[in-house]
Structures are given as structure tokens and as C-alpha cells.
Structure 1
Amino acid sequence: MTINFDINALAFLLSSAAEAEIRPRFRALGKDDIREKTSAIDLVTEADVAAERFIKAGMDAVLPGALFIGEESVAADPALLPKLADADLAVIVDPIDGTFNFAAGVPLFGVMASVVSGGETIAGVIYDPMGDDFVLAEKGAGAWQTGGHRPAARLKAADAVPLAEMTGMASTGFLPADKRAGIMANLAKVAFASNYRCAAHEYRTFAAGHVHFLMYNKLMPWDHLAGTLISQEAGAHAARFDGSPYLPRHVEGGLLIAPDKDSWEMMRREVFVLD
């Protein structure tokens, strides 16, 4: 299936949603504008809902006929998510990634969208509303940072380094309870591991070559499709924990991203031991 669309139009739609619905609400949310979804650390705000509504309303002009899958739309109708596996064309949106940070007034959040055609991710965009710039990629065309009144710059993942020199981001909260303590102890083998509570900025940091690995266990498509494609287009190796490719239909199986396959295998063997 041949898809003709303008990734810049998709990027502009995300930035327009942020200008209209997100930035005006930052550090201006009322008590009733923040609600829990599944727990006290899984939040949704009025900005999430309004931004997703804005993006959905503009999507027909960018990708006519595409299945729209947004994080908040799926929260309201879980039957929507399985439709992604069979969709000829779909757009997947996270209106605010890092909602916990946003609700706390921490300026570390992003807006993400990916395009899926025939079961594979063909484009991804991550917009930083506070920095007013994008990282984006189309399959086979490299990863780029653009916007903010600066020339577009091609992104390259970090070069491989020894295990003890590696730095990265590890989201350990969703690991199996019986494996979490061991993996957290194994992380002492690297130089440091952190967590921004915002996959959007973790992927941006990785694709720009500032850290050497990313690890996630929970794989909701709005959190990872755009960033994984951008990381791969920046030259990185990405795979689920069993070594298989990460595809849009996957919601489990973990995800590990590293500068190259050898680094990936070393991290899987030495740190992320789940067998």
C-alpha cells in the first residue's frame, strides 16, 4: 500500500494542539482537571483529553481514512486497540506523554504520533512543547531534529562503549516482580541508569546520542512506536527481549534499544536477565 502524506503536516498538527490546548494549561490546572486512571501515578488531565480531541479533528486533512488510535480514546473504548493489528493505515497518538510530570508542573513532557501501514511503523514524530521542536523520522530516511528556528540536524545514536561506560534509561516499574530486584542490582554494572517518567524525552535523548540504552517492559503503541522508529533511523538496534522485532501489534515482551546488536546482546545477557 502506497502512502502519500506530509510528515511536516503531522508535526504541525501536534504543535498546533500543544499551542491551543497544552501550554495554556501548564501549571494552570485546577483540582478537577486532574484525574486518576488506574493508579495515583497514572493520570489524565483536561489537557490530554482536549489535545487528543484537537489532533483527531485535524487528522483527516493529514491522513484521510486512517484509523485513529489515541491513548485517551483507548482508555474510553479498549476495543479500539486490537483494531490496530489489522488496519491498512493507522495513526497512533499520545497527546501528552509524561502526564505525571505535566500535572506536577515539571516541564518534561511531549506529544507523540506514529503512522502504521500494513503492520509496520513508517513514520514517527515527537514534539517538545516547551522547546518547540521536533525529532522525527520516516522509514528509510534517517532521523532528524528540526524546529526551534534552527536548521534541521540529522540524529545519530551513540557509539558503542564497554558495559561499565554505558548510560541509559530503564523503566523498571513494570518488570515482573520476581525479576525486578535482580535487574536493578544488575544496573550497577553500567555507569548510570535513570528514568525521566517520559518516554518522549528518553527517546529524544537516546536518538541524539546522549545515552547508550533504553529499556521498557510495558509496550503500549502510543508510548513506543514513534521513538523506536526514530532510534532505528538514528542507527540503533531495537528488539524485544527475545530478540524478535518490535511491531505495532505488540503490547508485551519488553523492549531493549542499544547502539548496535553486539551492545544489545551484552545488555540483555549482563543486565536484563529475565530467563
Structure 2
Amino acid sequence: MTDSLPIALSAPLSPAQQTALVNLVRRAARTEILPRFRSITRAEATAKTGPRDLVTEADRATEAMIARGLQRLFPHALIVGEEAVADRPELRDEVSEAEFAIIIDPVDGTWNFVHGLPLFGVIIAVTRFGRPVLGLLYDPVGDDWILADETTSARLVAASGVEHAATTAAGGALGDLHGYVHVSLMGQARQEAFYPRLAALGQATALRCSCHEYRLLAQGAVDFVLSDRLNPWDHAAGVLICQRAGGVARMLDGRDYNTSLGEGLLLCAGSEATWTALRDHFADLA
């Protein structure tokens, strides 16, 4: 009897593959998203889990186009899109078991998109057994993106190709911290517990768009993002980009983030000191 062969792990995406990924997303945005922006009506949007959780033809068509392109580029990858999971929830569980998965959020911030607000984006995450190894946060309106993988620092890239390092903020006293808390998405009991605690912070709000929330965190414009809605298409890319921009991203109880996690509070912060201060402030509400 011969020894079994070791499992071969996929290499990180090469620079050429990363460029192909970005170009695919940019083409999809030009083809399927931007022509529909401010021309689609609220009546054309469909509610999924509630009146604020919308889906449109832009979401479906963009996901389909990106998924087709990714399958050609990476035929051995598990391709999982937000809208595909809505139709087949079991796909979400397959991500954490896949050696190489690519997660698509085709139009993150659909509510904003439908109502004509230019705060929406495309999120792509590459994961290995549920752990993020590449993240892309793309802004179709500005045609720029933040990109990082497990070996490179996060950088903001313009359409011209000019790059700037993305660096998180050092933070400060609790009363000076500004960030995003997805309180409206929490259950009623947790909302009632969270709202009084927010008064101690400098500012706590939400943009209805994880793509732009994580972009601002990575650029040091805000200090934190805190959420208990752990959809991997919303957070996997942002977790890695936060970390590669110099920040800290962990569950509030100290666990490392993984796409298999369905419950708990995910806290991404600009620095270890900020993460610890916020953990201490909210720990008993976890």
C-alpha cells in the first residue's frame, strides 16, 4: 500500500491573474451596472429577506457575467455569488470546505443603487478553506479599487494605474472613534442593548454598503466596522484588506474570522488599541 499524496494547495493569484480579475469586474460594471444606474425604478427591485434587502436585474446579470468569466479563468475554483446563495443556501456551507473559492457580491449596496445614491460597489473575495486570501473592493462610479492578498499590502488603484498605499487609522480615545455599526440589521434584543452604548463613541452610523465602509476603514477615514450579519460576500474581502492595511479584524470573542461563522460579532478596527477599546466597550453584548 502506497502513502497517499499530499493535497496540493492553489498558489496565490499571480499579478497577471489579479489584473484579469480586476478587468473582468470593470467590464461587468460597465456592461451591467452603470447603464442601469438611475434608470432602474424601485418597482423593478425585488425584496429578498425584507424591504431593505433588495435585488435587481443588475445584481443578477452582473453576478452571471462575473461568474462565467471567473469559471473560465479558474476552472477548478468554487464560484459562489450572493444571488446564487439566495437560490441555493447550501452553497454558503461549501465555501468553508473548498480549497479555492471565489465569492461575488455583484452589487453591494443595492438599496443605495436603486435609490440613485452612488454608494455601491462590487466585492470579490478569494478564500482557502474559508480563510480570506485575496480581497477586492471595486467602486464602479469612481472606477477605482482597493486590492490586497495574503502576501501584499492593501493599495488603492486608480483607473490610470496609479497606486497609493491604503493605511488604517491609529485611533484614539473611545469618544473620538468614528465608524460603522450595523445595528439596524441586528435582532431587537441586541439593538436595544447596543443603542445606549453608541453614545460613548464619536460617531456610529452605516452606509448600507460594506464595500465603501471597508474602503474608508482601509484608508484611515474611519476607525472601525462592527457587524453581526456575517454574510461572507459582505465581509471576507474587507477582513483581509483591513488586516493588510495595518488594521485588526477578529470576532469580538477573539476568534479568527472564517466564512463558516454564522453567529457572533465581527469587529474590524484600524489598530490593536482601537480593537481592544471597542471589544471592552461591547464585550458583554456579544
CA distance in 2, matches of 1:113, 1:150: 19
2:235 is matched with which residue: 208, 219, 224?
Answer: 224
1:146 is matched with which residue: 128, 140, 157?
Answer: 157
Partner of 1:51: 62
CA distance in 2, matches of 1:270, 1:14: 39
Please give the TM-score of this superposition, normalised by the length of structure 2: 0.92
Matches within 5 A, 1:248-263: 248-263=259-274
Partner of 1:184: 195
Contact 1:221/1:251, CA 8 A, preserved across alignment: no
Partner of 1:159: 170
CA distance in 1, matches of 2:241, 2:48: 29
Partner of 2:3: none
CA, structure 1 residues 148+80, in 2 after alignment: closer, same or farther (shift >3 Å)?
same
Matches within 5 A, 1:67-216: 67-149=78-160, 151-216=162-227
CA distance in 2, matches of 1:179, 1:117: 32
1:2 is matched with which residue: 6, 10, 19?
Answer: 10
Q: How many residue pairs were aligned?
A: 275
Please give the TM-score of this superposition, normalised by the length of structure 1: 0.95
Gaps of 5+ in 2: 1-8
Contact 1:187/1:271, CA 8 A, preserved across alignment: no
CA distance in 2, matches of 1:29, 1:272: 42
CA distance in 1, matches of 2:284, 2:163: 39
CA distance in 1, matches of 2:135, 2:197: 32
The one-letter code matched in structure 1 to 2:85 is V
SS of corresponding position for 1:60: helix
CA distance in 1, matches of 2:270, 2:32: 36
Contact 2:102/2:124, CA 8 A, preserved across alignment: yes
CA distance in 2, matches of 1:172, 1:30: 27
Gaps of 5+ in 1: none
1:20 is matched with which residue: 31, 34, 37?
Answer: 31
* Larger deviation, residues 182-191 vs 199-208: 182-191
Q: CA deviation at 1:116?
A: 0.9
The one-letter code matched in structure 1 to 2:218 is A
Deviations 1:220-242 (A, max 9, x none): 10000001100010011111121
The one-letter code matched in structure 1 to 2:182 is S
SS of corresponding position for 1:181: helix
Q: CA deviation at 1:175?
A: 2.6
The one-letter code matched in structure 1 to 2:222 is V
Q: CA deviation at 1:193?
A: 1.2
Contact 1:183/1:273, CA 8 A, preserved across alignment: no
SS of corresponding position for 1:189: coil
The one-letter code matched in structure 2 to 1:2 is S
Matches within 5 A, 1:225-244: 225-244=236-255
CA, structure 1 residues 30+170, in 2 after alignment: closer, same or farther (shift >3 Å)?
closer
Contact 1:183/1:272, CA 8 A, preserved across alignment: no
